[in-house]
Each structure stands twice: as C-alpha cells, then as structure tokens.
Chains A and B, each alone.
Chain A
C-alpha cells in the first residue's frame, strides 16, 4: 500500500500529465492515418524520451500505445480503411453505421468502449503485476533464460511465415545484439576493428532502420490516395447513445474486456486476435446477430473494448518477466532499459514506486484518451486525409535527426540505413522483422542468463531441467510450439484448399 501511495504521489506532476497528453495526441494521429503505425510513432519519438525521466517517458509512450488503438478506429469508421490492423473488426460495423449517417455515434461508441476496456485492463495490471512479480522473484538464471526462450518462441511462431522462419529471424536479432563488447569477458565481437562498434548497435538506431526507414522504402509501391471524410455528419449529429443501447452493449463490453485481458497476457497474441475473438463471441451471444456486419453497435463495442483491454494486460509479462507481448511493447521495453530499469523479476523490488506510478498512470492515460477523443474528433477526421507524399519526407527527416541525436554521430545514421535495407530484403524473403526486434531487445538478458546457467552447471544442459519451474516452463514452451505448429498446418491446409478451389 505504501508503494501505491508513493507511486501515486510521484505521478501527480504537471510534466507527467503533459507528456501523457502529448503521447495520446500523437498516438491518435498516427493510429488514425492509414499507413502510419503505432510502432512507427513510438520509434520516431523514442529519441525524445532520452532526456525524460522513466515515469515521463513511459507515460508518453503509453499514451501513444493506448491512443493508437482508438485512433485506428477513426479511419476504419469514417473511410473504411483501418488505421491499425486491429481496427479491421471495428470497420465491419463502424463503416456501415457511418454510411447510415451515424458516424459520430459510431465514433462515440468506439471511444467509450476503448476507454472502458483500457481502464479495466489498467486496473488488472495494477493488481496482478505485483503478484506475478513476486512469483518471478523465485526464478534463477536457467529459469530466466527459459522465460526469454518462451517469449522468443511464441513471437517467432506467430509473427513469421512459419515457426522456422520466425526462429531464424529471432536468432538474427539475438546475433546482432551480441555485436560489440562482450559484457562478461570484455572481448570484442564482430567489430571489424571499427571503434564505432565497440558498444554495439544502439537499439533506437536499429529500430529507426527496421521499422521507420524501411517503411519509407516500402512507399515505392503506389498506394491509393485517401479521400477526406465528410465532416458534415459529424457536425450535425448528436452522437448520443440511449439507455437501451447502453443496456445492450454492457454484456459484450464486459466479456470482451475479459477476452482482451486474457489474450493480452499471452505474449505474441496481440490486439487483432483479441478484437476478432471478441467480435465473434459477441455475435454468437447477441440477440440480433443479423445486425453484425451491417452496423451493429455490439460489434463495435466488442472489437474496441477487446483491443484496448490488451494494452494493460500485455504489460504484465513485460514488467514482471521482461517478455514483451508485441512489437510496440518490445520497443517500450527498450525505453525502460534506456532509463536504467531492466524489466524482470527484480524490477518491482528495485523500482517499486516507479512501477506503481506507471501502472496508475495507465488509468489516467485512458481517461485523457477519452477526453481528447471526445473533443478533438473533427481534428482527427481531417488528419486522415494528409497525403503520404507529405508525410514521407517528414518521417525521414525525423528518422535522421533521431538517429543522429543518440550519439551525435553520422555513423549511426548510416547504420540505420543499413538496417532499413536489411528489413526491406527480409520482407521480400518472407521473414518478419518483429522477431528480429524481440531478439535485439531480449538479446543481452537472454545471453547473460544462458551463459551464467551453463557456467554454473559446468557446461551441462541438464541445468535447464533441474527445477520444477524450469520443467514447467519447458512444458509451456512445448505446449506453445505444438499449438503454433498445429495452427500453421491448418493455415497451410486452408491455403491449399483455397488454391485448389
């Protein structure tokens, strides 16, 4: 309780709330513009967090992360183009409502559902994370290596074209993280006598190349020019939700929150899965399933509540075990490390107050997301139509400035360019860059625990099956692998039957 109160008092600071709101605004804008992603937004603005404290920078990044979820639904509802992948389920009913002249109501429902899901998820984080943290403290180096392996395996399994593709990408990320001085022996590794490589590749530089500049190279494909949505309906409509409608959406909202939280806790699943699973469940449970796909308010509520309910829950494995649930959270893990906070079992012991401040802050982030969404909807609706041709050079300039600012070095800018080219080639070869990111982020702790465990056991791999926790984790890895492989086999069968049809 003491930590809670102290965390709360640390949060009550004007700057924390200022950065929280800037993050929310940026998240909504990047989420709303199709083609721009929440990951891109976090990467572009990560260099700004260097000069901020851990609470401020995390409030800023969480603002982007949470508001990006709602931002994606704005374009999904208004112009039938989801700003984020998980807003696709929202689009199914949001756009038909918009066509009926109920844009404001659809946006209002999406906003309230997102806020509801987000706040409940933040409360879940607040209560569960410290408990999981206590359990995590019982883990030693072999168990911790297995936790990292578990996170990497799941992300590799779900992000790649196949499990093997994902594992190769993850191994590449881990390998890149080994370049530079070895922290345990101080031997140099793969630096080719280049002094700039002594400290290895800075995470931010790699991210700028992998996720921001590579997006620019992808702009070589001709994209459809988006048209600005009509704002007339937004001006004229009241957008009010009646009591009967609130009664109707209460049940799907609660069930979708539970689904979102459960999905969010499992690494590698993500908001898209949560929104589609919830949408499907809501349809099955609805008294009016025929309305789904034609502008059902229950459909919007299910999708939006679930995808924002993921946001807090996904921080549980991140903060307690150091396992990021998705790409955006993996970048936030990097931001924590930049601030000297290493996620994992010791985080709640060493930085309990900061952790509580961050967790309580997430509730406020959702509150401000509601306020900004309520009063700035028209601005976000206008932002959707900003052409890519204007955004692309601005993104590049931001990337160059951000990459240079890390160490005031043009070498880092060149490194970012190399990573952009690598990401472009990997995509062409059907390898996802998300496992590379996970490998980069988890690389140092994975290697440290792997080597420490082997040193403790004089090189015997038996140490990884020595304790009940290790065995439990190994069973979990095997179980996850079995599910992933089964899923991929089913996907391939479906693909084959579609091709034959």
Chain B
C-alpha cells in the first residue's frame, strides 16, 4: 500500500495544532489583565507547529505543480498488522497486571511474546520466565516497589 508521509505528517500536525488552539481557552484559565500568561508559550508552540506544517504542505504543493514526484513509502500491511498485534499485547499486559498481579502477568506476557515470535526452543521460554520473575523480585526487594 502506498503512503505519502510528506503529506500525512503536516496534515496530522495541522489538525493537532488547531485542536490545541480550539481547546486552549477551556483548558487554560487566565486573568484578563495579564499580557504574558500561562497560555502564551503553548500558543506560541501551537503556532510553530501550525506554521511549520503549512510550509511543509506548500512545499509539497509546489512539487505537484512542478511535477516532481512526491515521496512515497510502501507500507507492508503484514508488518503494520504485527505492530498492531504487539501494541495489543502490550495493552493486554497492562490490563493483566491489574488483574493477576505483576509477576504472574509478566510470566504470561513473556510466554505470549515468544509464541508471537514463533520461538520453538524450550530453553528460550525457560530463560524469559526466569528473567520475568527475577525482574519482579529485583524491583520488589531491590527498589522496594509494591506492584499490584
């Protein structure tokens, strides 16, 4: 699948900066008599993002007019799908931590990850399980962190 990062990027940042500017009055309350306020700097940054993105889009527009080919990236659907599955696994791990506790969910997660990577060597499974338990113990007793 073809993807145009040089257009998608600025569009994302234009939308983001406009959203910031729209939300600003509701999210940052200020006193009317002050000139330099808590809004000054975020507004300045939103303007930089907006202005920069417009420049990038105009540059791409010029390329189109000059008939210079735009930069394209061939997105590998399978790779992106795998990234999505990995993200799903990370979210699942976060949910499991609150339900099963850190150590058990870490063990389960590491096993799931190895399965995801299609690892068949049982020694690898043993290594990651030992590592998961060791990390939990290290944080619990070494750094005194009380996991759920």
Contacts of B35 in A (CB 8 A): 454, 458-459
- Which DSSP category, helix, strand, loop or mixed, fits chain B's interface? helix
Contacts of B122 in A (CB 8 A): none
Contact A168 B132 (CB under 8 A): no
Contact A220 B45 (CB under 8 A): no
Most buried by B among A394, A397, A410, A417: A397
In Å, the complex CA distance between A401 and B135 comes to 8
Within 8 A of B (CB), among A396-422: 396-398, 400-401, 404-405, 408, 410, 413-414, 417, 420-421
* Contact among A165, A182, A400, A425 with B56 in the assembled complex (CB-CB below 8 Å): A165
In Å, the complex CA distance between A489 and B114 comes to 45
Residues of A within 8 A of B (CB): 47-48, 50-51, 162, 164-165, 167-168, 171-172, 174-175, 178, 182, 184-185, 187-192, 213, 216-222, 387-390, 392-394, 396-398, 400-401, 404-405, 408, 410, 413-414, 417, 420-421, 424-425, 428-431, 447, 450-451, 454-455, 458-459
Interface string of B39-73 (1 = CB under 8 A from A): 01110111011001101100000000000000101
Answer yes or no: B104 CB below 8 A from chain A CBs.
no
In Å, the complex CA distance between A393 and B73 comes to 29
* Contact among A182, A216, A392, A397 with B38 in the assembled complex (CB-CB below 8 Å): A182
Closest B residue to A402 by beta carbon equals B139
Chain B interface size, under 10 / 10 to 19 / 20 to 34 / 35 or more: 35 or more
Contacts of B5 in A (CB 8 A): 428-430
Contact A417 B113 (CB under 8 A): no
Answer yes or no: B30 CB below 8 A from chain A CBs.
yes
Contact B79 A220 (CB under 8 A): yes
Contacts of B37 in A (CB 8 A): 185, 187
Contacts of A421 in B (CB 8 A): 87
* Contact among B46, B87, B128 with A390 in the assembled complex (CB-CB below 8 Å): B128
Contacts of A217 in B (CB 8 A): 83, 86-87
Q: Given the known A-B contacts A178-B45, A216-B90, are A189 and B38 also in contact in the complex, defined by CB atoms under 8 Å?
A: yes
* Contact among A187, A219, A401 with B86 in the assembled complex (CB-CB below 8 Å): A219
Contacts of A187 in B (CB 8 A): 28-30, 37-38
19 contacts between A and B (CB under 8 A): A162-B56, A164-B55, A168-B56, A171-B49, A189-B28, A190-B23, A393-B113, A393-B128, A396-B90, A396-B93, A396-B109, A401-B147, A410-B98, A417-B94, A424-B83, A424-B87, A431-B9, A451-B41, A455-B36
Closest approach, in angstroms, between the C-beta of A203 and any C-beta of chain B?
18
Contacts of B30 in A (CB 8 A): 185, 187
In Å, the complex CA distance between A241 and B118 comes to 45
Contact A459 B28 (CB under 8 A): no
